[in-house]
Structure 1
Amino acid sequence: MTTPQPKPQRFVGLTGFAQRVGLAPGTISSYGRKGLLPPPDVIIAEGEGGRQIRGWTPAAIDYWATHRLGQGRRTDLRRPKNT
């Protein structure tokens, strides 16, 4: 009797990430360079010193999309407290 093989886990690349959240792939790529994306769930390297392909689970992308700051949101402005 053979042991059932585990179902492979699905990961989404940058283009799929962009499609899932409704942004352009260039925008997502820019967010990645600026450190605004969540850490990837998997990194596939093509050879030593080669290109790295990042991948995220759909759940990680959905979490990021619902918890990220909106466009134009300023986090450096604070209203003074009335004391």
Structure 2
Amino acid sequence: MSEPVIQALDRLFDLAASDTGQARRAANFLLAWWNAQDNGGFDLADLFGVDHAVAADMAVVRLSGRSSRRDLSRPARL
């Protein structure tokens, strides 16, 4: 996993653990990214409820090509 993805995940986990209005959206995104089948999907309309930096972190994570926990055990493709 690349350093930008790790940094984006760190920021999203910190946000999800906080007590802000964006925390729920960050938590929902991370749960959906981890396992959407069991945890439910992520409503794209929630992107309008987060700051641009948070939405950018979500995009970095989603576009990283690792869409689930199963992918975390695989080596990154170069």
> Could you state the TM-score of these two structures normalised by the residue count of structure 1?
0.29
Q: More helix per residue: 1 or 2?
A: 2
The structure, 1 or 2, with the larger RCO (C-alpha pairs under 8 Å, 6+ apart) is 2
Q: More strand per residue: 1 or 2?
A: 1
